[in-house]
Structure 1
Amino acid sequence: MRVIKFLLITVIVLGLAGYGVYHFGMQFISKKVAETVTIELADSGQIEAVKHAVEQNATLAGYMDEAKVADLSELPFTTKEEATKVLIQKVGVTALNDIRVKAENGTLSQEEIIQEIQEKLTPEEQLALKVIIYQELYK
């Protein structure tokens, strides 16, 4: 009986510890990724280039128009950190890194990137992501 009690308590403690590490680890990673991307874009001066690229692409410009009129109270998330967390959970770190590498190499088009992200996110999450991108570009 003592062995069963000990094993049960051990399993519960390890489960709680694992959940805590996962939860706080995801928060830490999502904050760090959001900060890094923001700093890199600001330091490299690429924000204006990104704005110009968005305005020149009809699909992306349409997404920004959609984000302008979105009802913020109905979005599943509203911060960069929450968006990063959802992307990591739904798409995965490995898949996001693969997308980044392929985009840098030019082997993945904008349409393919958009399609890959849209397949993983709900329409509400997609809209929330568009709103956050809009806020970051035009703040």
Structure 2
Amino acid sequence: MRFMKRLFITTIILGAVGFTGYYLVNKYLEDQAVEYVENDFVQNNDLAVAREYVNSSPALKEYIQEGANADLTELPIQTREEATRLVMKKLSLQEMQQIQSKAANGMTEGEVLELIQTFEHKLTDEELLALKAIIYQELYG
């Protein structure tokens, strides 16, 4: 009986240590990804390129303008950092890699519209509106 008790306690301790380690590693990787995205975006002047791309696509511009009048204080996310974390949680690693690969090679308007559909399936309406508002703010604010 004493052996079973020790085994049970050891299992609980190892499980707690493993869960804590998993959480801390995920948090660290998430922080690193957010930092990379924000630094890369600013350093490469991607904001101007993104604004030009959106302005050249009436459908995309109209879609993003839906967030122009949204009040971020009433939405689940308010900042670019929170938006990045949300996307990282909602999309799989494979989906993020595919998006990054397509974006690096230049996306057609059709591919952007497919990406929008992916986000519409993965996010709630409030999360989607918050993303639109943040993107609109970043591009035109």
The structure 2 residue matched to 1:127, chosen from 129, 133, 137, is 129
Q: CA RMSD in A?
A: 2.4
Higher relative contact order (CA 8 A, sep 6+): 2
Larger Rg: 2
Q: Which residue of 1 aligns with 2:27?
A: 27
Cα shift readout 1:75-130 (whole Å, capped 9, x = no counterpart): 22223333233222221122101221133345771111111222211112212222
Runs of 4+ off more than 6 Å: none
Residue 86 and residue 21 in structure 1: after superposition, are their counterparts in 2 closer, same or farther (change >3 A)? farther
Tell me if structure 2 keeps the 8 A contact 1:77–1:128: yes
Structure 2 length-normalised TM:
0.79
Q: CA deviation at 1:37?
A: 1.8
Contact 1:34–1:84 (CA under 8 A) maintained in structure 2: yes
Alignment of 1:27-106 (within 5 A): 27-106=27-106
Alpha-carbon distance change, 68 to 20 in structure 1, aligned in 2, over 3 angstroms: farther
Tell me the TM-score normalised to structure 1 length. 0.80
Consecutive unaligned residues in structure 2, runs of 5 or more: none
Verify the 8 A CA contact 1:26 1:85 in the aligned structure 2: no
Q: Distance in 2 between matches of 1:133 and 1:19?
A: 34
Seq. identity, %: 38
1:137 and 2:139 correspond: yes
